[in-house]
Structure formats: C-alpha cells, structure tokens
Amino acid sequence: MQRVCVIGMGPIGRLHARIYKELPNAELVGVCDIIPERAKAASEETGVPYFLDAQEMLDALKPDICSITTGGYEYSSDHYIPTIQALEAGCHVLGEKPISNSLKHAKEMVETARRLGRCYGINFNHRFTPAARQAEQWLADGRIGELLFCNMALWIGKFMKLDSPYYHLKALNPHSVNMMMHYCGPIEEVSCFAYKATGRDIWSTASINVRFKCGAVGHLTSSYDIARGHPMERCEVAGVKGRFVVEDMWREAVLYPAETYLKEVYTNPVFGGYSNFDDTFRARIKAFVDQVDSGAKPEEIDGSGQDGYEAQRVIHAAIKSLDNGGIPIKVEEVDE
Ligand SMILES: NC(=O)c1ccc[n+]([C@@H]2O[C@H](COP(=O)([O-])OP(=O)(O)OC[C@H]3O[C@@H](n4cnc5c(N)ncnc54)[C@H](O)[C@@H]3O)[C@@H](O)[C@H]2O)c1
C-alpha cells in the first residue's frame, strides 16, 4: 500500500487526488496548495488533511509517492522546487508534463531522482490507453517491421492570453513528442515552422519535422487554434510490414498490414471502455502506482523523468530552429 500526497491542487491536482482514492494499492494522505482556498476545497473533497507548505506536509506525513501537479510560467516552472523537495524527502514522484519549462531544472530533477534511487515518472497519460498499448503490441510483434515514418497531430482550442510565445510548443507537445519517441525511438534532428494565428501573440500552430536515430522520419502538427477539432489527436506509424493509426488516444487503433487488404481494429468498447479524458489519467496513474508497488527499479519506469527531459530537449531544439528560420537543429546540441 502506497501512502500518497498531491502538491498543487488546481483542476489537475484534484483529478490526481480523486484517482488515488480509487486505487486499491494507494492511500491518499494529504494535499497541498499555497492558495488556502484551493487547499481547503481539495481537503473537503477528499477527506484528507491539507497543508499550505509542501515541505511541512512531506515532513509531517512522510508519503511514499507524491504527485506534483503545480503549474506556473509556461505551465511548468513551479514543478521544480516541490519535485526536488519530494525526492529529497524520499518520495517516488509522478510529475505533470511538461517536466519543466527549463532544461536546466529538468536535468537536475532527473539527476536528483537518479542519485536518490527514487522512481520518477511523468504524466504522459495520452499513451497509457488500451488503444495505444495495442499499437505497442503490434510493434513488439514485428507487425510494422523496419520503421519508415511517423505522423503525429494534436490540437485543442486554447484561446486565453498565455504567458510566453513558446507556451503552446512547450506545454502541449511533450505528449506528442514522447509518443513519437516511444514508438520510434530517439530523435536526432528537428526543424520547425510556426504560425501566430490572427489575434494571437504566441506561436499557436506549429509544424515540426524530425529525423529519428533509426533513420525513419517524422512529422508533428500541433495547434491551439482549433475550437472544436474532433478528432483531436492522431498518431500514425508506418513500416515496411504495416502501418497503424491510433485515433484520439483511446477511441480506436487500426493496423493496416502490408500483405493484405484486411485490417485489424481495436475500438473502445461500449461496456467497460473509456468514457472520457479523465480515464487516461486513471490508466497512467495506476501504471505508476503499480510499478512502484511491485518494486520496479527507477530505470524501469514507463514514461520516466528521463523521457520527460528528452521530450523537452526535442521541443527546445524545435524552438531554436523556429527562431533561426526553420534550419535543422541537432538535439544533442541543445543544452540548458
Ligand atoms: N496530462 C495532461 O493531460 C494535462 C492536462 C492539463 C494540464 N496538465 C498539467 O497539469 C499541471 C497543473 O495544471 P492545472 O491546470 O491544474 O494548473 P493550475 O495552475 O490551475 O494549478 C496549479 C496549482 O499549483 C499550486 N502551486 C504552485 N506552486 C506550489 C507549491 N510550491 N506548493 C503547493 N502548491 C503550489 C498553485 O497555487 C495552483 O493552485 C500543469 O503542469 C499542466 O501542464 C496536464
């Protein structure tokens, strides 16, 4: 049984807290926010004590696992301090994406977890669904073969004023870049063009080309400009033996084998299937708790802090490319 705390009680922290309460191998023991109303509301909702200071909560409750669901500049600058605090307090940490808007901080967070031998996961919830797992299985079974290309797309409508021109690139794309790397391996080189849609002062739509280490090529289209874009996410991976498409995280995964006109389809079942986006969090958080609870080694964590750092390096390379007219940038050249 894992004793759990959550730091940062915005909508996402409250969702984490509710999910921990459902899990048979987790016990939510405390919640924390520096905004008293948010901390109190989360405490009333979950029935556990609230704290206004993360260090105080960690000292008092000594949890086994801590979710870090803070936000901040570029939706991630506040993750750094409580992540280090929780790791230093001996916790395994599940952090929200992006790991951090700062590569320097992200690297330090990963190194701290490694030094202390703690499990560190990032909430890449888009790819822990049965449909995404089915695609993983097709890859593992050799149904795709030598990889050729990956086409990834993710768009949502996010029209409010945002705090940085790079907000969309840094905060939305970790999911997509991680999914591309999960299926196709490390990315070596990137180029990026982007667009500020009418009325916007951020790079709100982007087109990113990548070259994977294995030699395959890939593309990511991402946008904050599409109000009702259903479907909103699509991941296509093709190889010499077959091609799969995962639609909207959990809705459908289709395999198109090269040797036949017959396709294989996984469709979200009506009974027992996913009912909404919250279920993607359920699957990801359950996977992390199950791994920790079964004694997984830090390097075995699926969707690790290291993966979060690597995704962010690709995004920083894309930003460097964007700022230099779209020229290709080697990811290894991007550092804090
Ligand atoms: N995985 C997903 O699909 C997904 C979806 C949306 C958002 N997110 C991520 O979830 C995170 C949180 O999103 P949100 O919308 O709930 O953000 P939010 O800004 O509404 O909430 C964050 C909360 O953290 C608190 N906080 C900041 N520093 C703190 C500290 N040191 N100690 C205690 N509390 C602290 C803030 O007061 C705030 O209440 C973001 O990183 C975001 O990128 C992930």
233 Cα to the center of ligand 1, angstroms: 22
Predicted pLDDT at 189: 98
54 Cα to the center of ligand 1, angstroms: 14
**What residues does CATH 3.30.360.10 cover in the chain?**
128-274+311-333
Predicted pLDDT at 198: 96
Q: Which amino acid is at 292?
A: V
Residue 118 and residue 145 in contact, taking contact as beta carbons nearer than 8 Å = no
Predicted pLDDT at 228: 77
Residues with CB under 6 A from ligand 1: 7-13, 32-35, 38, 54, 69-71, 75-76, 78, 81-82, 96-97, 123, 125, 171
**What residues does CATH 3.40.50.720 cover in the chain?**
2-118
For the record, the structure tokens of 242 come out as 């077959």
Q: Which amino acid is at 204?
A: S
Predicted pLDDT at 24: 98
Sheet holding 26-32, edge to edge: 50-51, 26-32, 2-7, 65-68, 92-95, 120-122
- Pick from 191, 184, 182: which is nearest to 213 by CA? 184
Predicted pLDDT at 227: 84
CATH topology of domain 128-274+311-333: Dihydrodipicolinate Reductase; domain 2 (3.30.360)
Predicted pLDDT at 203: 98
Tally Cβ neighbours within 10 Å of residue 267.
13
Predicted pLDDT at 33: 98
Residues of the chain with pLDDT under 70: 229, 336
Q: Which amino acid is at 146?
A: E
Q: Is 269 exposed, middle or buried (0-12, 13-18, 19+ CB in 10 A)?
A: exposed
13 Cα to the center of ligand 1, angstroms: 7
For the record, the structure tokens of 148 come out as 């050729």
Residue 191 and residue 124 in contact, taking contact as beta carbons nearer than 8 Å = no
User: Does the domain made of 2-118 have the CATH classification 3.40.50.720?
Assistant: yes
